[in-house]
Structure 1
């Protein structure tokens, strides 16, 4: 269970809505001599005996603890809460509420995406004219505004300093017998559109998978951080193998924690370079 929840360690507790919090209360509020209750969770996150006794007077101690925890600590994350429930042998709660939690996390990242988009200024509004669906507007070189949108096998998430490796990736995966179609933002996307909007649409609707080129520079890129978290929100637990991390050079900084639960394609080891491209191509070609 721990590896499944690793990507949630960076998702703040505020992502959980009222419905999930109320359901947590239904499980944890009643005093239970057999199973751990809200007090055990409060103790695990660092509350003292006196604080816990004070929480008892609340209508829903569980909700009060969660609200107070998220207000006072940056450690208050969805992943941390699930980890505590698992450690306290309340896997029944985790299993029952996981679908609702995954949906809340998806909506949370969706709201982040919308907040990042600039407001649209429309000078003329004509409600009589039908607007084309967003996915059919020409946003890539091969898009036909009147036809089907251009589709790709994978979106490549990278920062500019790693573009030489991305260029090699193009040669190895597109210009060989693998014949894969990659979405490389600098090459395939037409200029003039909102970066966040276009990126989100490409990842969610146009590309089957996303290759994440990991490097020290990647860790400092706001764009790469957004793309990775957005893609993770579309596939909680990586159940459909949507993200494929690739490391092509040694790193000085720690590997990103939100990707540690995924199998990595490592180009840094000479002994594995022989089958590196074949292995990556096979993963991208899966249905």
Structure 2
């Protein structure tokens, strides 16, 4: 019989825990408990504000909503959840649900280690150029030296005028940064989702997210942002840099609220805007 995979709580994001576990955990924490910590205490230890917790109180299953919000943060790992429950003195919850946690973590690890099936080549063609090796205008046609960038720019089409301004300020000045602008740099005919993930993960040091009302309605921007956040669970890296360049009518995306924003909407800070973005954020090693 094959041995079970060892569980690494720190390397396992909270998204690995399935719905059955979340509902079970909610059964322990949702009811108001006069002698033990309930969901409010745990939410506070997860750094939710007083107003956020008051709003969660209006939800039917408040802790499930808390967990759904918390899982978007870089520190949302199984290890940190267990640590919070220990500090809240809810070791009874950990003891009762440990088997479910371990089972979900092992299933997550198995999915991560599972390799795709390789389809054998059935013709006699010579060596081929891989799709992920030649994807931008600057890549070597032989796929030997893939181009890299300082930042991937996540934006929707309606915000391209500001992106064009960003290109002038960051590429054509003393900062001399190299930006990956999808509509400008990516070769046509490639799979949008596959190439975007390849660029964000392996070709670009960081990602600048141009936030606007239209950004919130863009499926491509939503995918790119969530993919970039998923690359470093449990860390506090400065991989994503949100930029707001005009006043918004819709709420700022909650998935990015824990990141410091570069705000171009305030005249008092515009004089430092490009310096902060270029010299202090994108130029970091």
User: Normalising by structure 2, what TM-score?
Assistant: 0.64
Shift of 1:127: 8.3
For residues 148-168 of structure 1, the C-alpha deviation after alignment (integer angstroms, 9 at most, x for no partner) is 101000000000010000000
The alignment partner of 2:250 has SS state of coil
- Report whether the alignment pairs 1:285 with 2:272: no
Cα distance in 1 between the residues matched to 2:259 and 2:240: 8
For residues 187-241 of structure 1, the C-alpha deviation after alignment (integer angstroms, 9 at most, x for no partner) is 0001001100000000001000000000111001110000000000002255221
Q: 1:79 aligns with which of 70, 76, 98?
A: 70
More helix by share: 1
Match of 1:58 in 2: none
For residues 19-67 of structure 1, the C-alpha deviation after alignment (integer angstroms, 9 at most, x for no partner) is xx6xx9xxxxxxxxxxxxx98852423599xxxxxxxxxxxxxxxxxxx
Q: 1:252 aligns with which of 249, 253, 256?
A: 249
Cα distance in 1 between the residues matched to 2:122 and 2:266: 57
The alignment partner of 1:236 has SS state of coil
Cα distance in 2 between the residues matched to 1:89 and 1:278: 43
Shift of 1:124: 6.6
- Report whether the alignment pairs 1:182 with 2:167: no
Cα distance in 1 between the residues matched to 2:187 and 2:154: 17
- Report whether the alignment pairs 1:145 with 2:141: yes
> Map of 1:31-50 to 2, 5 A cutoff?
42-45=27-30
Shift of 1:175: 0.3
The alignment partner of 1:153 has SS state of strand
Aligned residue pairs: how many? 221
Cα distance in 2 between the residues matched to 1:229 and 1:135: 21
Cα distance in 1 between the residues matched to 2:235 and 2:15: 22
Tell me: CA distance 1:90–1:195, structure 2 relative to 1, closer, same or farther (3 Å): farther
Q: CA RMSD in A?
A: 4.4
- Report whether the alignment pairs 1:224 with 2:221: yes
